[in-house]
Amino acid sequence: MTTNTLLLLLLLSILIAGGLSFFQYIYKAKNKSKIGWFLAFLRFLSIFGLLLLLINPILTKNTLETIKTPLPIVVDNSSSISFLNANEKAVELYKKIQSNSALQEKFDVQSYQFSDDFEPTETFDFKGTQTNIDVVAKNLKSIYKNAIYPTVLITDGNQTSGNDYVYSFNAVNKVYPVIVGDTTTFLDFKINQLNVNKYAFHKNKFPVEAFLHYSGTKSVTADFIISQGNSVFSKQSITFSPSKKTATVSVLLPADKIGLQVFKASISSKEKEKNTYNNTKNFAVEVIDQKTNIAIVSAINHPDLGALKRAIESNVQRKVTIVKPNEIKTLQDFSVLILYQPTTEFKTVFESNKGAGINTFIITGNNTDFNFLNQQQDNLNFKMSGQKEDYLSVFNAQFNLFAADNIGFENLPPLQNAFGTVTTKGAVSVLLSSKIRTIDTNAPLLAFAENQGRRAAYLLGENSWKWRLQTHVNNQSFEKYDIFMDKIIQFLASNNSKKSLVVGHESFYNSGEPIEITAQYFNKNYEFDEKARLTIAVTNTKTKQTKNYDLLKGNNSYKVNLDGLKAGPYAFTVKELNSKTTYSSSFEILDFDIEKQFVNPDVEKLTQLATQTQGKAYFSDQIDVLIKTLLENEEYKAIQKNSVTKTPLIDWIWLLVLISILLAIEWFVRKYNGLL
């Protein structure tokens, strides 16, 4: 509606409202009194208001808003700050920046803290168990999208988790690290890292690799010792100097005792150190006395074979041998047979296994002889054509033979198999069913059978190597796929009957790591019981102190997080309260506080971060210079934004209220003066 049209309608409305009011209360009135003029005025206003609602003009409101540049002040809340005696200084620096009136006038000052996580706050306790500066970069990018702003980062720069933070921050947004902690170089020996496998085999030797670091200004000799209790397994003298500050030590230790073995690695010298906590690291190895041998039997070469071997052997308890059907001599050497795309060449293997009774994992594909396969097993029936088809997978959350997680099967590449019909016979549990494009076939893709102590698994399609590759693309690691494959092998390697209560846990944890125990409870039909009531009692075997927790239901399992337990050996019992079923075991928490490994802030890394973002690193006594830099920087100016709000008059409820009040007053005046 144009302005001229609106003015014309408003003028017309005034004439109509005025004319009707004059005609009713003035022209027709016998006695022209002040009451008549008052009533005419009320009627004029109410009619004009109603006509305004019919015209419904748009009311425009301009609001001028000033938007300041955000200035996030991010404080390191990890315990390393207090360990370096810099907690009070960090709070002092934060308050000095946050309360500066000139900065508040120029910037929108906002306060955050970080340790293993990132959150807004104005109070700090410096009790975080991890330092993850990378999480700061990720959260700031999410909060201030498409904005140009500076960041003040108060930290010692000693990161203990997350990606390298130097290149994590947006390069167009300047970062000003404020370095806290004593930068004086002290003489210090440190075990930077220990590399050791979680498992070792009985009567073998297992390698331990240690990376040692020295800070100091003179040449010294230190002893590196690996011990267990009062027994010393290895002792080496290592010379350090100002030009040789690092050393790598490799040791082979004997695995003489079965079970969890805890060792201590330490480095010491006659020199006095400011921090001796980082001179010692405990580590543990579980010594096992057996190894599962798996045979992959295949008459063809295929990428699946290498992917299967790598996935299975990611568990050091497994050893995989790839053989041709006519080369396998005795089945008794193996615990599991993986029969890859069986044909008539596998006849001798199938016949030999009828007596050996070894569990099998059959994988089919384009080269499989399905008529032969129908003759050799009784769990699945195949009616296949010569046409090839791609099958996508659908995860069955109700699968209960063993605890299986959905690693994103619906988004994995399809497997290729012959087109046809697959039906189950007898007790077959389906973990993955197949789908052709968007159509569910309700046929198995990955299935398991258990009959009379014999177990079998079936994967109906080739190219599972693409699954392993895709999980690495999704997670930057093969771990999820390898663990999934290991669970299949674990199921096939054991003939034990099903347990109603299945508990998953590690034998040992490092202090500060998440300590999570999972459990599944199955009813008499071996179906996952979502109404189970699971509790866990955890007892420190040294102090005899016991803590009780409830396990919370998650996705097809129950979980409990035991973070906060002190280092030491623990025994625990998981109990299902309705059936009184229990599971007991133990684990050990190794004493290791990663936040106490440092004696100085990481000045070099924080300087790199500042350079990468075109900012500058400052020490705690340069805070006034930092404030001056921020105030004088012409890049960060407030922006005035004009907000235009358009509102139809019909949405203005107060006009309706006013019209109602005018009509009510008019009625009461007329009633009072006997004009009704």
Q: Is pLDDT at 404 greater than 90 in this prediction?
A: no
| Tens-digit pLDDT profile for residues 547-592 | 999 999 887 789 999 888 888 899 999 999 988 999 999 998 887 7
pLDDT-above-90 percentage for the chain: 53
How many other C-beta atoms lie within 10 A of the C-beta of residue 147? 14
Q: Is pLDDT at 496 greater than 60 in this prediction?
A: no
What is the model's pLDDT at position 32? 66
Asked if residues 229 and 185 have their Cβ atoms less than 8 Å apart, the reply is: no
What is the model's pLDDT at position 1? 62
Asked if residues 217 and 262 have their Cβ atoms less than 8 Å apart, the reply is: no
**DSSP string for 620-653:** GGGHHHHHHHHHH-TT---EEEEEEEEEEGGG-H
- The dihedral built from the CA positions of residue 318, 321, 325 and 329, taken in this order, carries a sign that is negative
Q: Is pLDDT at 100 greater than 60 in this prediction?
A: yes
User: Tell me, what amino acid is at 515?
Assistant: I
| Tens-digit pLDDT profile for residues 123-170 | 999 988 889 999 999 999 999 988 899 999 999 999 988 888 999 999
Q: What's the rounded Cα separation, in Å, for the pair 447 and 439? A: 19
Q: Is pLDDT at 222 greater than 80 in this prediction?
A: yes
Average of per-residue pLDDT across 411-434: 93
152 exposure class (CB count in 10 Å sphere: 0-12, 13-18, 19+) = buried
Q: Is pLDDT at 282 greater than 80 in this prediction?
A: yes
3-state secondary structure of 69: strand
Q: Find how far residue 283's CA is from the centre of its chain.
A: 26
- Higher pLDDT pick, 239 / 648: 239
- DSSP annotation of 236 reads E
Average of per-residue pLDDT across 382-405: 89
Q: What's the rounded Cα separation, in Å, for the pair 166 and 613? A: 9
Of 39-43, 142-146, 356-360, 384-388, minimum mean pLDDT range: 39-43
Long-range contacts of 237-243 (CB under 8 A, 24+ apart): 238/212, 238/267, 240/189, 240/214, 240/216, 242/216, 242/217, 242/218
| Tens-digit pLDDT profile for residues 105-121 | 999 999 999 998 999 99
Q: Where does the pLDDT of residue 258 fall: very low under 50, low under 70, confident under 90, or very high at 90 and above?
A: confident
Q: Is pLDDT at 411 greater than 80 in this prediction?
A: yes
How many other C-beta atoms lie within 10 A of the C-beta of residue 189? 25
Q: Where does the pLDDT of residue 497 fall: very low under 50, low under 70, confident under 90, or very high at 90 and above?
A: low
Average of per-residue pLDDT across 494-515: 77
Helix (H) / strand (E) containing 394: strand 380-395
Q: Where does the pLDDT of residue 415 fall: very low under 50, low under 70, confident under 90, or very high at 90 and above?
A: very high
Beta bridge partners of 222: 238
Q: Is pLDDT at 36 greater than 80 in this prediction?
A: no
3-state secondary structure of 215: strand
For 194, 224, 264, the CA distances from 279, given in Å and listed in that order, are 12, 9, 10
- Higher pLDDT pick, 38 / 393: 393
For 278, 304, 320, 608, the CA distances from 301, given in Å and listed in that order, are 51, 9, 16, 49
User: Tell me, what amino acid is at 558?
Assistant: Y
What is the model's pLDDT at position 368? 95
- The dihedral built from the CA positions of residue 31, 35, 37 and 40, taken in this order, carries a sign that is negative
Of 22-36, 213-227, 304-318, minimum mean pLDDT range: 22-36
Q: What is the pTM of this model?
A: 0.56
- The dihedral built from the CA positions of residue 84, 85, 88 and 92, taken in this order, carries a sign that is negative
| 404 phi and psi angles, rounded to 5 deg | -125, 130
For 207, 214, 242, 272, 421, the CA distances from 246, given in Å and listed in that order, are 20, 6, 10, 19, 64
Q: Is pLDDT at 676 greater than 70 in this prediction?
A: no
SS3 of the chain: helix, strand, coil, percent, to 5? 30, 40, 35
Q: Is pLDDT at 279 greater than 60 in this prediction?
A: yes
- The dihedral built from the CA positions of residue 106, 148, 608 and 77, taken in this order, carries a sign that is positive
